Amino acid sequence: MNPAALHALMPETEAIACLARFGIAYPDCMLALSAGEAARMAEGLGYPVVLKIVSSEIIHKSDVGGVEVGLQSMDEVAAGYDRIMDAVGRGSPGAAVDGVLVCKQAAPGVEVIVGGLVDPMFGRALMFGMGGIFAEVLKDVTFRVIPITPADAMEMIGEVKGYPLLAGARNRPACDREALADLLVGVSRLMEASPEIEELDLNPVRVYAQGVLVLDVKMMRARAGAPA
């Protein structure tokens, strides 16, 4: 059996609410059901904004044209909403769509990835790594069995090859490693308290001189009737 058939993608709005219960920050966002509603929400959030399709049947939003970034006005947002709905209709026909998420666009920062998974041998585990080319090419990641302590989290942060980017290499400001450690502990707590979640992917997470911000979240839970 295809392992993916045993898991269901949690709608991003629900996943964001789950993060919030564990003190994990996500950009201010609202769910829009029309182009006009998206434009009005963007005015309230402030520009620039990002639009993202919300569907439990679409895992890779960018692959089907489900993401628009850097939108700077009501007209751009309304047009971006229409482009997303048109692209998704063509790229993923028949997919159930909950709406479009309107998010305040985050400032640049150092990007990392954080994941939760169920290992066949060790059980629930946490993954941390550097984002961008470090994740895609160098596979710069480290793992721990859940639960982890704050000390474990700081060890994980120090183990990756890209650590100098977080520590402030080449006169760059050091990133907030304490906030990043808090995030890792929060994800550990979330996975420990949520046995229905089989997989969690926070990618990217931006780390700043003060604070961290999750920019995208995917949570997979076991489908009803799937074997335990």
CATH number at residue 138: 3.30.470.20
User: Is the domain of 119 the same as that of 170?
Assistant: yes
- Has residue 73 been placed in a domain? yes
For the chain, what percentages of helix, strand and coil (3-state, to nearest 5) are there?
Answer: 35, 30, 35
C-alpha distance from residue 18 to each of 126, 145, 189 (Å):
17, 21, 11
User: Is the domain of 79 the same as that of 123?
Assistant: no
Domain containing 63 equals: 28-104
- Has residue 227 been placed in a domain? no
Q: Which of 201, 193, 108 is nearest to 147 (CA)?
A: 193
User: Is the domain of 188 the same as that of 98?
Assistant: no
**pLDDT value at position 223?**
67
**pLDDT value at position 1?**
36
**pLDDT value at position 79?**
98
User: Is the domain of 73 the same as that of 161?
Assistant: no
User: Is the domain of 114 the same as that of 207?
Assistant: yes
CATH number of the domain where residue 60 is located: 3.30.1490.20
User: Is the domain of 100 the same as that of 67?
Assistant: yes
Q: How many domains does the structure of the chain reveal?
A: 2
- Has residue 4 been placed in a domain? no
**pLDDT value at position 30?**
97
**pLDDT value at position 224?**
60
User: Is the domain of 140 the same as that of 203?
Assistant: yes
**pLDDT value at position 4?**
47
- Has residue 22 been placed in a domain? no
DSSP alpha helix (H) spans, 113-173:
133-136, 150-159, 163-167
Q: Which is it for the CA torsion 165, 168, 173, 178, positive or negative?
A: positive
Q: What is the pLDDT along the chain (228 residues), one digit of tens a residue?
A: 344 445 799 999 999 999 999 999 999 999 999 999 999 999 999 999 999 999 999 989 999 999 999 999 999 999 999 999 999 999 999 999 999 999 999 999 999 999 999 999 999 999 999 987 677 777 889 999 999 999 999 999 999 999 999 999 878 889 999 999 999 999 999 999 999 999 999 999 999 999 999 999 999 998 665 444
User: Is the domain of 119 the same as that of 218?
Assistant: yes
- Has residue 1 been placed in a domain? no
Cα 184 from Cα 182, distance rounded (Å): 5
> Does residue 142 contact residue 180 with C-beta atoms inside 8 Å?
no
Q: Which of 155, 86, 156, 71 is nearest to 114 (CA)?
A: 156
